[in-house]
Amino acid sequence: MRFITDRKRAAGLGSARTGTEHHWHMTITSVALLPLVIMFIFSFGAILGSPYEEVLAYYQRPFPAIIAILTMLVGFNHFANGARSTIEDYTGGHTRQFLIIGVNCLSYSAAAFAIFAIVRIAL
């Protein structure tokens, strides 16, 4: 016997009402990361091992800087959401709340520092 109504099954809403949204968000960021990481590896690999002045000149061009910034933004956002779902699955109570807050702070702080560093180099 199923306790889910046809409307809920059609709308994709479970008991928490956010599972489908979270799944799609993770899917979209995963798909976005695939070309971004490939472009980041090729753009970063091209300058790896070069002198400091060449690296500065390279990242002052818009394409490598934008690719690096987008990779950091999407990557840390994907990390925060994936870590949050793992924490929700394996912890409870106040520990869950503190860990989620800590992971969000860590993720967004790391993204902010990475973007600041790239912008500082690019400008």
d(CA 81, CA 78): 5
DSSP category for residue 49 = T
Q: The whole model's pTM is what? A: 0.81
Q: Which long-range contacts (CB under 8 A, 24 or more apart) does 11-16 make?
A: none
Q: Which domains does the chain have, with CATH numbers?
A: 29-122 (1.20.1300)
Residues 16-75: pLDDT tens digits?
A: 667 778 889 999 999 999 999 999 999 999 899 999 999 999 999 999 999 999 999 999
CA 50 from centre of chain: 28
